[in-house]
Amino acid sequence: MTPSAIVVGVGAEQGLGGALCRKFAAEGYHVFVVGRTAAKVDQVAKTIREAGGSAEPIAMDATREEGVVRLFDRAFGQGSDHAPPDLVVFNAGNNRRLDFRELSAELFHDFWRVGCFAGFLIGREAARRLVPLGRGTVLFTGASASLRGKPGYAHFAAAKAGLRMISQSMAREYGPLGLHIAHVVIDGGINGDRLRDSQPTRVAEKGEAGLLELDAIAENYWFIHRQPATAWSQEIDLRTSRESF
């Protein structure tokens, strides 16, 4: 049967979620393309199918437990023409600079729900379905904020650091049971629609060589998934050759 993957956090076609979906589809996977905006996930799935791949769009809010459970019920359901997923990626998140003194409790909570709580829901459901199978990869998208807090980004760092701890705890608990859990630190700007639309000046200053390229990032996710169990990565960091660290 055709292998399958779930990618949660797909937005613009020229974004990391979309690049991951295209990469997995190119490797012969049926991909569940999951994001909050129906039009965006529909477009990513359409592009994959037009290129000869297999994809199924699902519009879903990853912070809603019932929706996440339904997603995994569907992906792992009986009678499908694809195998149960052996690759799950949590890529959801949002980010913007906010003065700590002006940060409301509601907004802090919203960032945490998208960046951390949703990751918990996805990770939990993946573990519930994959542990009995004794195999599978679960990948979490992190950021430089996973490792350090910067001025104006306390809300983002709190969510990303929490997500990193979820990945570490899961790896230690479920690695011995056959699940490969890994966290990918994206250290720098991604050359996609989100950054180009919101920060054109930064894009111009960095130039093409100063931004992480979408397909190159996706290649690293696939590389982690294909690692043999005798040499697993739990965390990798990705940056351009021009990024200071």
Please give the pLDDT value at position 80: 75
Please give the pLDDT value at position 205: 82
Element (H, E) at 225: helix 214-225
pLDDT digits 0-9 by tens, 65-91 = 999 999 999 999 977 789 999 999 999
Query: What domains sit in the chain, N to C, each tagged with a CATH number?
Result: 4-238 (3.40.50.720)
Instruction: List, edge to edge, every strand of the sheet that includes 30-35.
Output: 54-59, 30-35, 4-8, 87-90, 136-143, 179-186, 235-238
**Separation between Cα atoms, residue 199 and residue 98, nearest integer Å:** 15
pLDDT digits 0-9 by tens, 85-114 = 999 999 998 888 999 999 999 999 999 999
Pairing of the two strands 87-90 and 54-59: unpaired
Please give the pLDDT value at position 193: 85
Is residue 154 scored above 80 in pLDDT? Answer: yes
Report the pLDDT averaged over residues 186-201.
Answer: 88
Bigger pLDDT: 104 vs 201: 104
**Separation between Cα atoms, residue 162 and residue 71, nearest integer Å:** 23
Query: Is residue 56 within 8 Å of 48, Cβ to Cβ?
Result: no
Is residue 216 scored above 90 in pLDDT? Answer: yes
Is residue 166 scored above 90 in pLDDT? Answer: yes
Is residue 194 scored above 90 in pLDDT? Answer: no
Which residues make beta-bridge pairs with 212?
Answer: 190
Report the pLDDT averaged over residues 141-145.
Answer: 96
Element (H, E) at 138: strand 136-143
Report the pLDDT averaged over residues 17-26.
Answer: 98
Please give the pLDDT value at position 81: 85
Please give the pLDDT value at position 155: 96
The angle formed by the CA atoms of residues 174, 148 and 181, to the nearest 5 degrees, is 15
Is residue 163 scored above 90 in pLDDT? Answer: yes
Average pLDDT over the chain, rounded to whole? 95
Please give the pLDDT value at position 71: 98
